[in-house]
Structure 1
Amino acid sequence: MSPIFDFFFGQYADYETYYIVLEIVAVIFGLLSVWFSKQNNIWVYPTGLISTSIYVYLLFKWGLIGDMMINGYYFIMSVYGWYVWTRKVDDSHFTPITKTTKKEHKISVLIFISTLAFVFVVYQMFDKWTSWTAYVDTVTTAVFFVGMWLMAKRKIENWLYWIVGDIISVPLYFYKGFTFTSFQYLIFTIIAIFGYLAWKKNLDSSPLILSK
């Protein structure tokens, strides 16, 4: 095999084939989910549920507790988001894209801090403070928890959290040895940027003032 191929995929040499196949399937459905989110399409949730279910299993097998918790939370919030996105605010309109309110910003900060504390306790329990990646995992978990909550609420600022978390995750997952997942986050970053622009265009064309 070529040195370039070995550099990117050499870590998979010791993996069982079905783990590799499952990761690729999870990546495909993950990409579909983010694409549907960019399109403001309800299919973001069923595709996301498939991806996160697979990742919860894989990350449990790989012993990546923080990452597993992220995906477990995604699964729960996907169910909640599916409900919110299909809930009508009146007889003819579903929950629209809006800006985050002051109250929701405060809740976002609370979710971020609570997540940091929660992950810290879990990592202490499972003795996971063995690498610098654990500290980065703690931060990205908190970032993604806020992003997922805001996406479920259909708030445009969710994309900003996804962009930050995705950028950090690209080198992080590559370092951990999961090249396919690293590539997934690279594509996530690009889609998230366009997703923010698409949602902003949608919001600008039908603005709603929510600033309590």
Structure 2
Amino acid sequence: MEQLLEYFGVITGFIYLLLEIRQHKAMWVVGFLTSLVYVFVFFFSKIYADMGLNIYYVAISIYGFKKWTCTKKSVTEEKVSDDPIFYRHITWPLLAGIASAILAIYALLYYVLHNFTDSPIPMGDAFTTSVGIVATWMLARRIIEHWIFWVIVNCVSVYLYYLRGLYPTMFLYICYAILAIVGYFTWKKKGINKERI
């Protein structure tokens, strides 16, 4: 059953990322399902912070869907054709806030994982989770640099999932890392920089 859930998560994870690159709002629905499945996959594998991260993904999928639906309505009112990709850039003050948030979340997660769970990889688990929380928030706000954060998270995750024997998920995250690079350049090439969206 655990392996079946993992394979289902891998398939929906691929679909999610392809939809994310195209900025199709259905990605939030697929992301909701993928995250829900991975809550259980990571629980069984004792990767507790990533399990918690996927609970967060379930919740932010609802937020992201609502946020993108409202943005879509405002874009439609402007009569923009061909369903373009909109994004904005990170600012220095926002980067400072993001770095502070990652550090605070990391410290809290590491403390909890190290002292109160049987997690075999508390440092890596805390790192990928803290960066993932912030990167998903950045995606919901259409900040293009979220792709860079995902390249880092996905590369670290590949190693963590290898250690835990989650080979299909490891393969998924190798693809995630590659497609995150593709996603960045797709948004950059085809997108419209819209600072106030």
TM range (shorter): 0.7 to 0.9
- Matched residues, number: 189
Deviates more, 1:21-30 or 1:93-102: 93-102
The AA in structure 1 aligned to 2:91 is T
Aligned to 2:113: 123
The AA in structure 2 aligned to 1:193 is I
Residue 56 (structure 1) shift: 0.6
Cα distance in 2, alignment partners of residues 119 and 207 from structure 1: 34
In the alignment, does 2:150 pair up with 1:168?
Answer: no
Unpaired stretches in structure 1, ≥5 consecutive residues? 1-17
Alignment CA distance shift 1:209-1:74 (3 Å):
closer
* Superimposed CA distance per residue, residues 144-174 of structure 1 (whole angstroms, 9 cap, x where no aligned partner): 1121110111110110000011111112201
The AA in structure 1 aligned to 2:125 is D
The AA in structure 2 aligned to 1:97 is Y
Aligned to 1:207: 193
**Alignment map for 1:23-172 (pairs within 5 Å):** 23-88=6-71, 89=74, 91-92=77-78, 96-128=86-118, 131=120, 133-172=121-160
In the alignment, does 2:175 pair up with 1:187?
Answer: yes
Cα distance in 2, alignment partners of residues 122 and 199 from structure 1: 37
State the SS of the aligned residue for 2:193.
coil
* Superimposed CA distance per residue, residues 93-135 of structure 1 (whole angstroms, 9 cap, x where no aligned partner): 7993111234432331232022112202321452346x4x221
The AA in structure 2 aligned to 1:122 is V
State the SS of the aligned residue for 1:96.
strand
State the SS of the aligned residue for 1:87.
helix
Cα distance in 2, alignment partners of residues 68 and 127 from structure 1: 13
TM superposition score normalised by structure 2: 0.87
| Percent of residue pairs identical | 27
CA contact (8 A) 2:89 2:145 kept: yes
State which structure, 1 or 2, has the greater radius of gyration over its C-alpha atoms.
1
Cα distance in 2, alignment partners of residues 179 and 114 from structure 1: 30
CA contact (8 A) 1:111 1:145 kept: no
Q: For the aligned residues, what is the CA RMSD?
A: 2.1
